[in-house]
Amino acid sequence: MKTYRMLALAGLGLGLWLYLSSCTVVARPAPLPPPPMAVQPQEPAMMANVEPPPMREEVVIPAPSAQHVWIQGHWSWKGRWVWEPGYWVIPPRPHAQWVPGHWRRQAGGWVWVAGHWRYR
Which residues, listed in sequence order, are joined to residue 70 by a DSSP beta bridge? Answer: 88
Alpha-carbon distance 2 to 11, whole Å? 14
**20 pLDDT tier (thresholds 50, 70, 90):** low
In this prediction, residues 17-45 reach a mean pLDDT of 55
More confident residue, 79 or 35: 79
pLDDT at 47: 87
Q: Is residue 110 part of a domain?
A: yes
Q: Is residue 79 part of a domain?
A: yes
* Structural element, H or E, at residue 22: helix 2-22
pLDDT at 35: 47
Question: 108 Cβ partners below 8 Å, 6+ apart?
Answer: 47, 49
More confident residue, 11 or 64: 64
Domain that residue 102 falls in = 47-118
pLDDT at 105: 95
Q: Is residue 3 part of a domain?
A: no
Residues 32-68 have pLDDT tens digits of 555 445 555 555 678 898 999 999 999 999 999 999 9
Tally the domains of the chain: 1
Q: Is residue 18 part of a domain?
A: no
**120 pLDDT tier (thresholds 50, 70, 90):** confident
Q: Is residue 86 part of a domain?
A: yes
> Do 100 and 74 meet the contact criterion of CB atoms below 8 Å apart?
yes
- Provide the CA 7 distance to its chain's centre, in angstroms: 61
